[in-house]
């Protein structure tokens, strides 16, 4: 091979190597998660309009420039909701200052969860948390898009609401980033989200997002 052809060949391969290196560094390895499923493609949430515990509108705009952790429930919930909020109050203390995070309690019981009731309920756990609700016509498409399900059980005033126990993490640009799922190490115990796993995954996802 002639010297000029050797030089051209070397230049081509060195250029391809540089491109590959750039592409490799531009796509950091996804973080290892302990209790979450990260969506390979993050899609922005469709427009929605809820009302928070202060009577103010809560829309897609309130998701911008911060992380949002959603979970569904209702204030009359006898077990899962107060347990989850108690755990989140503890986790929030460790995440505060590390991740700019807002916790959003999405009530799927608009008939009973009035603004005043939501405010009293959420303030008991942490006044920095957000409690929101809306008519079912607004709730159903939003919960479906977030991957939550809920259904009313029973009749009369003392009905209960069966609902998802997972959480969904929304990125600062308003896209669905990951679902945080309950797990169980013992088949005799109900699945649950462990705080140390939750805290690890939220920090890992937020850090990866900023790279």
Write out the DSSP string of 51-101: EETTS-EEEGGGGTTSEEEEEEE-TT-SSHHHHHHHHHHHHHHHHTTTS-E
Q: Per residue in 116-164, pLDDT tens? A: 999 999 999 999 999 999 999 999 999 999 999 999 999 888 899 999 9
Q: Per residue in 14-37, pLDDT tens? A: 444 444 444 444 556 778 999 999
DSSP lists the bridge partners of residue 52 as 132
CA 67 distance to own-chain centroid? 8
Q: Once rounded to an integer, what is the mean pLDDT over residues 167-185?
A: 91
pTM, whole model, 2 decimals? Answer: 0.83
Q: Per residue in 65-115, pLDDT tens? A: 999 999 999 999 998 999 999 999 999 999 999 999 999 999 999 999 999
| Mean pLDDT, rounded, of the chain | 87
Q: What is the pLDDT of residue 20?
A: 42
Neighbours of 172 (CB within 10 A): 16
Confidence of residue 2 (pLDDT cuts 50, 70, 90): low
DSSP lists the bridge partners of residue 152 as 161
Residue 186, pLDDT > 80, answer no
Q: What is the pLDDT of residue 11?
A: 40
Residue 172, pLDDT > 70, answer yes
């Amino acid at each position: 091979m002639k010297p000029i052809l050797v030089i051209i060949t070397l230049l081509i391969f060195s250029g391809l190597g540089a491109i590959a290196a750039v592409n490799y560094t531009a796509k950091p390895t996804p973080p290892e998660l302990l209790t979450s499923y990260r969506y390979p493609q993050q899609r922005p949430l469709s427009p929605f309009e809820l009302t928070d515990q202060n009577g103010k509108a809560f829309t897609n705009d309130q998701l911008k420039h911060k992380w949002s952790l959603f979970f569904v429930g209702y204030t009359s919930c006898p077990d899962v909701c107060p347990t989850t909020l108690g755990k989140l109050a503890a986790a929030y203390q460790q995440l505060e200052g590390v991740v700019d995070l807002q916790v959003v309690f999405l009530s799927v019981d608009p008939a009973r969860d009035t603004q005043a009731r939501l405010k009293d309920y959420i303030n008991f756990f942490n006044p920095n948390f957000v409690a929101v609700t809306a008519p079912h016509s607004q709730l159903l498409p939003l919960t479906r898009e977030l991957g939550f399900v809920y259904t009313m059980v029973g009749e009369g005033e003392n009905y209960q609401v069966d609902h998802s126990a997972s959480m969904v993490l929304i990125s600062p640009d308003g896209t669905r980033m990951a679902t945080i799922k309950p797990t169980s190490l013992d088949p005799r115990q109900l699945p649950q989200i462990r705080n140390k796993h939750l805290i690890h995954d939220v920090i890992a996802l937020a850090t990866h997002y900023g790279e």
